[in-house]
Amino acid sequence: MNIEKFNEAAKRLESWSKTLVNHINSGSAEIREVLNGKTSLPAGCPSKESLAALCMRPFASDIVEIRGAYDDMEAALWEK
């Protein structure tokens, strides 16, 4: 096991997990407002669902980073 790489990946996992929680906490209210019709659609946006999906993109980016950190932790377990 490579403890240094494991610890580094664990710190990244923790950091990105906190970022995801922050994005969910701040973005969920905005998404609800969009879906409830309280937000005007920008020019060219076809629907409130499209705008809501756009608002959710940071969640997906964070999840990709979380998965990468997890994969690095797992790889570090088996590294000699």
Predicted pLDDT at 46: 96
Instruction: Determine if the pTM surpasses 0.75.
Output: yes
What are phi and psi for residue 44, nearest 5 degrees?
85, -5
Q: What b-and-e string marks burial along 12-39, b requiring 16 or more CB atoms within 10 Å of the CB?
A: bbeebbeebeebeeebeeebeebeeeeb
Give me the torsion for CA of 4, 7, 11, 13, rounded to 10°: 110
pLDDT (tens digit, 9 = 90+) per residue, 1-47? Answer: 999 999 999 999 999 999 999 999 999 999 999 999 998 999 999 99
46 residue type, one letter: P
What's the structural domain count of the chain? 1
Predicted pLDDT at 80: 85
Question: Is pLDDT of 55 > 90?
Answer: yes
Residue span of the structural domain in which 11 resides: 3-78
